[in-house]
Amino acid sequence: MIKAIIIDDEFSNRDVLKMLLDKHCKNVDILTMADSLPTGLAALKKYRQELDLIFLDIEMPSGSGFELLEQSGDIDFHIIFTTAYDQYAIKAFKYAALDYLLKPIDPAELVKAVDKVEQRIREKYPDQTFINLKELAYLNHKLNRIALPTANGLKFVGVDELIRCEAEGSYTKVHLNDGTDLLVSKVLKDFEELLAELSFFRIHNSDLVNLAHVKEYVRNSGGSVIMSDGSEIMISKRRKDAFLKKLNSMRI
């Protein structure tokens, strides 16, 4: 069983979520529910040794979910955010939280999120082991670093260190400028959404490139780019025009 806590300031939200879990996710055991930052912290302290997961609201009158995490010490449990706001923190914290659910919560999305937790627990994959939330708060405002889950925990890397992201089935291989590659349990679309406002472009179904690391554009049959690590990536025909427009916008 997945041992979980629900933290949300609204009774109706807590009640609905518990009802959905009881109906659709019978592998989740709700240890307790809390309605504020203080009661949430108390619940974490009480159940810390057996806790696997928290369902955490972001906006609460007594303090945000992020403040709660900052005050809770090392994060050695999984987090699923529950929020009515699809905005500021969502993209930045996607790579720290296992998932997030928008209210009203879709039962199918809830099941998918819980399945992720169950898989991580089964594989002992430490998405949430010992995260420094101050780093993540900085990430939320600046978005110049992202946290990549690895076999040993989380690796924080600067966005400018990413050369390209390559799809590997349900995983993504992240190529860094120091020559290392990281296999991350996120699909390429997650990276595309996270980095959409920065200098990244998905030139192919399998490749998202950092335009700052594009060294050369080659006019061949479909077009390709040569990256700073020497790799040559083909450009999808249907993405070529948009890519060239983006590239031209960066010209001096």
CATH 3.10.290.10 fits 2-123, yes or no: no
Residue ranges per structural domain of the chain: 2-123, 143-240
- Per-residue pLDDT of 155-173, as tens digits, reads 778 888 999 999 998 889 9
Same-fold call for 2-123 versus 143-240: no
* Ranges 80-89, 94-103, 141-150, 167-176: which has the least confidence: 141-150
229-236 LR contacts (CB < 8 Å, sep 24+): 229/163, 229/175, 229/177, 229/179, 231/163, 231/164, 231/175, 233/164, 233/203, 233/204, 233/207, 233/209, 234/203, 234/204, 235/203, 235/204, 236/203, 236/204, 236/205
Fold of 143-240: OB fold (Dihydrolipoamide Acetyltransferase, E2P) (2.40.50)
Please tell me which of 180-189, 195-204, 206-215, 234-243 the model is most confident about, judged by mean pLDDT: 206-215
DSSP-H helix ranges across the chain: 11-24, 37-47, 65-71, 88-93, 107-123, 133-142, 188-194, 237-248
| CA 168 – CA 76 distance, rounded (Å) | 27
Question: Which pLDDT belongs to residue 18?
Answer: 97
What digits encode the pLDDT tens for the residues 5-22?
Answer: 999 999 999 999 999 999
* pLDDT tens, residue by residue, 94-116: 545 667 788 899 999 999 999 98
Residue 92 scores a pLDDT above 50 = no
Question: Structure pTM?
Answer: 0.55
Query: Is pLDDT at 184 greater than 90 in this prediction?
Result: no
